[in-house]
Structure 1
Amino acid sequence: MRIGTGHRVLHLWSLSEDVVVEHRANGAMVVRGRWGAEWIDRPVPAVREALRRMELGPVLLANVETGKRGGGGPGRERAGQGTGQGRKPGPGQKQGPGQGPGEGRGRRRSDGPDQGRLIMMRVVGRLSHLIVRTLGVDDLRGPLLSVSPVARTGSFVPAPLPEETPVRLPADAVLTPWRSGFTLERADARYRVVLHRPEAVWVLGMLAWPVTPEAASAGLPLPREMTREILAYLAAAEMLAPAGERAGLRVG
């Protein structure tokens, strides 16, 4: 997404610092984190490359080469307990993308969906409780904010907020100085937010009072798209409340 300064807002992905990726002799990958191990059986090249890059730091998944012709292989995944991934479909069940032995054969590269990317995003989605999501800008000044899961059930999905709906900080939000920025936490939230740059803190300051996304965008010296994306990340991280709720901000 382009912002008013001519720069682009970036949605980046990385593995949490405590996550380790293991490679088995049979080709499987095991992703280990604080909540146990996640298995990926016969990962397609796009999955291997995405996890390799995400181990190194925040990456733009759109830049990962997927090998569109069938995604590089059948790519069955088994991620987490009870997910059903990596098993053959039972009677009456349809095979998912990339599960059939002939998936992608006979297609030209320009035909049909990018199966490798579909499989990659499905695997990444199942690993969301092990992934840090970062909002950045391609201006070489570092990320705006990052969101880390602190619960196994975390599944971070940012989405634009209604422009006319007022929101504010929840009553139990706690802001704490951290290195060169701040952390934002709540007792019952499944995420922890790190505010890396002043722009993110400016948006947070607007939320001490009820404010609509439209008013917040108009009241800050920031590109409107940047303000909206910051609000979307804060909302997905469970750091916003309807304006009718009592709000407050404790500084740790």
Structure 2
Amino acid sequence: MVPAQSHVPAGRPLWSLLEDAFVDEGAEHLTVHGRWGAIEIADTSPLVREALHRMSLGPVALENISALHENFVRWKTGSGPCLVWRKLKNTLDQLGGCLVPSLGLDDGAGPILSVVAVTRDAVFGLPHISADQPVTMRRGTEIERLNGDQALACAGQQYQVILHNAPATEIAKWLLDTETTVASVAEALHLEKALVSDVVAYLAGAGLVVTARR
């Protein structure tokens, strides 16, 4: 379920399709085929077509689409209405487990983590977690090796999280060891709170980090 109050990343949100998914488009139809079958997309507008085309090539920053850029910036900065972006995001949510949200940094070096669904009906959202809210990794979550990367996984959850690069790996390992807060992790690892907050929000959206009672 998408959280009522959402976290807006300070870093660079990226999106892609699962590696085995592909887009079939015609003049009047738009279909995404994946490991769980075909998904018919009702909105066949040029913006949706362009977004899906780019996402089929790998993790991309959708704000680079000229028709979306201004709206996306307003969403990121909270500076005004962003109906075009929200409409596109609602369409992307229809992709369920075929959608792969990732988090990148502003250096453009690619994602530091990616959230990959293991069930068809998974819908990803970023919950807001304050810097002093106690958090912990869900019981049973472990780091595994997956295709040369490290991955966080927990039996029964809809997502696993691929840890591509630092500092996502270091933050995840720290969260495995203890109940803590965003502020405490940032101080211990000498990282900006905004970056730690982003990583924690993605892990929480994947169901692997949970808030602890005070």
TM range (shorter): 0.7 to 0.9
Which structure ranks higher in relative contact order (CA pairs < 8 Å, sequence separation ≥ 6)? 2
> What residue is the counterpart of 2:61 in the other structure?
60
> What residue is the counterpart of 1:40 in the other structure?
41
Q: Does 1:160 align with 2:128?
A: yes
- Of stretches 138-147 and 9-18 in structure 1, the one that deviates more from structure 2 is 138-147
> What residue is the counterpart of 2:73 in the other structure?
none
Aligned residue for 1:66, secondary structure, equals: helix
Q: Distance in 1 between matches of 2:187 and 2:172?
A: 14
Q: Distance in 1 between matches of 2:96 and 2:107?
A: 27
Question: In terms of Rg, which structure is larger?
Answer: 1
> What residue is the counterpart of 1:80 in the other structure?
none
- 1:178-217 to structure 2, matched below 5 A, reads 178-207=146-175, 208-217=177-186
> What residue is the counterpart of 2:21 in the other structure?
19
> What residue is the counterpart of 2:75 in the other structure?
none
Q: Distance in 1 between matches of 2:43 and 2:190?
A: 49
- Alignment partner of 2:142 out of 174, 180, 184: 174
1:172 deviation in Å? 0.8
**Any unmatched runs of 5+ in structure 1?**
69-111, 245-252
> What residue is the counterpart of 1:122 in the other structure?
90
Aligned residue for 1:14, secondary structure, equals: strand
Q: Distance in 2 between matches of 1:144 and 1:135?
A: 6
Q: Does 1:228 align with 2:203?
A: no
1:163 deviation in Å? 2.2
- With over 3 angstroms needed to count, the CA separation of the structure-2 counterparts of 1:128 and 1:61, relative to structure 1, is farther
TM-score (norm 1): 0.69
1:141 deviation in Å? 3.6
- 1:44-123 to structure 2, matched below 5 A, reads 44-66=45-67, 116-123=84-91
- With over 3 angstroms needed to count, the CA separation of the structure-2 counterparts of 1:31 and 1:206, relative to structure 1, is same
Number of residue pairs aligned between Structure 1 and Structure 2 = 195
Task: Report the aligned-residue RMSD.
Answer: 2.6
1:36 deviation in Å? 1.8
TM-score (norm 2): 0.81
More helix by share: 2
Aligned residue for 1:13, secondary structure, equals: strand
Q: What one-letter code is carried by the residue in structure 2 that aligns with 1:215?
A: S
Q: What one-letter code is carried by the residue in structure 2 that aligns with 1:148?
A: V
> What residue is the counterpart of 1:83 in the other structure?
none
